Chains A and B, each alone.
Chain A
Amino acid sequence: MKVLVAVKRVVDYNVKVRVKADNSGVDLANVKMSMNPFCEIAVEEAVRLKEKGVASEIVVVTIGPNTAQEQLRTALALGADRAILVESNDELNSLAVAKLLKAVVDKEQPQLVIMGKQAIDSDNNQTGQMLGALTGYGQGTFASKVEVAGDKVNVTREIDGGLQTVALNLPAIVTTDLRLNEPRYASLPNIMKAKKKPLDVVTPDALGVSTTSTVKTLKVEAPAARSAGIKVKSVAELVEKLKNEAKVI
């Protein structure tokens, strides 16, 4: 079966972001960018399905600027077969991204769509569920285990109190949680080979999708800083401070 994996180019998770002085956003000039960690897990899961003989083709897609081709090449080096860039320089909301992905799904007709549960920049946790609504497919969000069995996929999900397993009819959408797998690294020969794999570029207009939004960001601020704390010398002093100064125990 064909698997579609959606990935996103985001600021590297180790970067401590700074808010711009004019409060228009965070400063992303000259900051290291990477594939969103949850998307890496999605790519890895697709590759493992291919290695098990479940998946026959892996198509990776991203929506973003031209530079997002780097993240597509990374996915190709990890084992994806071909890539699609929906090129847009606008900052798109989850609904717009879900609509663009729906257009790609209509064209590619995958049996399984795998994507991360959230992007670490906007922290929205929406796109997979929205794609579920638009396509009418079942959704297995926050997956920690994925098993394809016949015309169904069993997804074990991380929920607040523990784990839940659901069975979804294929085609379906799965969003990955951290414990689904441990993503591999791309080897140098595979990075070289990935440069020759096909990468198509399309525009939102060509897909016939409007990306207008009902939400706009008015400003972005730094969070309130915590006042500096103190170091205590002993456990006894700590207990005394918690009882008499902070009054929390």
Chain B
Amino acid sequence: MTILVIAEHTNAALAPATLNTVAAAAKIGGDIHVLVAGAGCAAAAEAAAKIAGVAKVLVADNAAYAHQLPENVAPLVAELGKGYSHILAAATSNGKNVLPRVAAQLDVDQISEIIAVESADTFKRPIYAGNAIATVQSSAAVKVITVRSTGFDPVAAEGGSAAVEAVSGAADAGKSAFVGEELAKSDRPELTAAKIVVSGGRGMQNGDNFKHLYALADKLGAAVGASRAAVDAGFVPNDMQVGQTGKIVAPQLYIAVGISGAIQHLAGMKDSKVIVAINKDEEAPIFQVADYGLVADLFEAVPELEKLV
């Protein structure tokens, strides 16, 4: 049994989610190969070779893979993947974009966002916004799976010494082209990898008031998230959204400020170790999942909290 893990990377560096995906592969058992497909991605490949437990790194360095366009990357992965028992990718926006296309090319079903490995063919995954956990079994020759990072502790990024091997793939499929991107700039830790997350909701009232959360987050070394209400109201950009349709986080500490706690938001954070809710409505559903709840006006409580931590 040999498992192919698709690396999540920016060409220059490996994304942390790759380490969680390798951890899931290690639970399945067998040799682990990592595919780094990109353009000028030697640095990412070098980092992949150092991951503990990786046997081999395949590098497909080609201008066609520069922005991970699925029309170009999926045929490469499907072709390489035929020889493997499992193909795994992180359930990031990139993994979700590419992997179903791979599965359909291989004519197998895909299993999305697993949170646990029961055996080499049986996995657990959340459905209905995390309100039910399904155990699913695959009889596919090649099992194509995306992995929810928060379900698996990352393996060590150092300590491995895998062989690096170049592979060639198909050229540009000519169906799509990268036009441009606008990435949000932030000095704070990445939301999905942060140990502490401070999130604001509609109760923040406007974007300017998020400065209170930024000040608290900086003191705690935390990332700042938001509910859909705060994103839709234009307080903060959408890549800060935590929930069923945004990012899934499971930090040590999640502080929900002015967030009522709708089902869709809880789907993104209810696996956090400790949840704190600050809300002036004591009936808010968020208090049903909070370990520590404080019924208070956030505009008084948050600055005070910032002073005391």
**B239 adjacent to chain A (CB < 8 Å):** yes
**A122 adjacent to chain B (CB < 8 Å):** yes
Q: Per-residue CB proximity of A153-186 to B under 8 Å, as 1/0?
A: 0100111111111111100100001110000000
Q: Per-residue CB proximity of A132-171 to B under 8 Å, as 1/0?
A: 1110111101101000000000100111111111111100
**B window 194-241: CB within 8 A of A:** 196, 220, 228, 231-232, 237-239
Considering the complex, give the chain A residue whose CB is closest to the CB of B304. Answer: A235
B245 contacts A177, CB within 8 Å? yes
Q: Which residues of B contact A208 (CB under 8 A)?
A: none
Residue count of chain B within 8 Å CB distance of chain A: 88
Q: A162-B183, A229-B293, A238-B305 are known contacts. Are A120 and B128 too (CB-CB below 8 A)?
A: yes
A residues whose Cβ falls under 8 Å from a Cβ of B: 11, 13-14, 16-17, 19, 26, 93-95, 98, 117-118, 120-134, 136-139, 141-142, 144, 154, 157-169, 172, 177-179, 213-223, 226, 229-232, 234-236, 238-239, 241-242, 246, 248-249
A231 contacts B232, CB within 8 Å? no
Q: Which residues of B contact A154 (CB under 8 A)?
A: 179
Considering the complex, give the chain A residue whose CB is closest to the CB of B252. Answer: A248
Sample (29) of A-B pairs whose CB atoms are under 8 Å apart: A94-B109, A95-B108, A122-B127, A123-B113, A123-B127, A129-B101, A132-B70, A132-B71, A132-B104, A134-B104, A139-B176, A159-B93, A159-B181, A162-B237, A166-B178, A167-B176, A167-B177, A178-B228, A218-B135, A218-B137, A221-B135, A223-B126, A223-B270, A226-B291, A229-B287, A229-B289, A231-B293, A231-B294, A249-B196
Q: A128 vs B97: C-alpha distance in the bound complex, in angstroms?
A: 9
**B69 adjacent to chain A (CB < 8 Å):** yes
B128 contacts A26, CB within 8 Å? yes
B128 contacts A93, CB within 8 Å? no
Q: Which residues of B contact A165 (CB under 8 A)?
A: 178-181
Interface of A: prevailing SS? mixed
- Least Cβ–Cβ distance between B189 and chain A, in angstroms: 13
B293 contacts A246, CB within 8 Å? no
Q: Per-residue CB proximity of B91-111 to A under 8 Å, as 1/0?
A: 011101111111111011111
Q: A218-B136, A248-B273 are known contacts. Are A142 and B97 too (CB-CB below 8 A)?
A: yes
Q: A95 vs B308: C-alpha distance in the bound complex, in angstroms?
A: 53
Q: Which of A138, A164, A246 lies in contact with B181, CB distance below 8 A?
A: A164
Q: A215-B111, A216-B137 are known contacts. Are A17 and B131 too (CB-CB below 8 A)?
A: yes
A17 contacts B132, CB within 8 Å? yes
**B275 adjacent to chain A (CB < 8 Å):** yes
Q: Which of B101, B113, B228, B239 lies in contact with A162, CB distance below 8 A?
A: B239
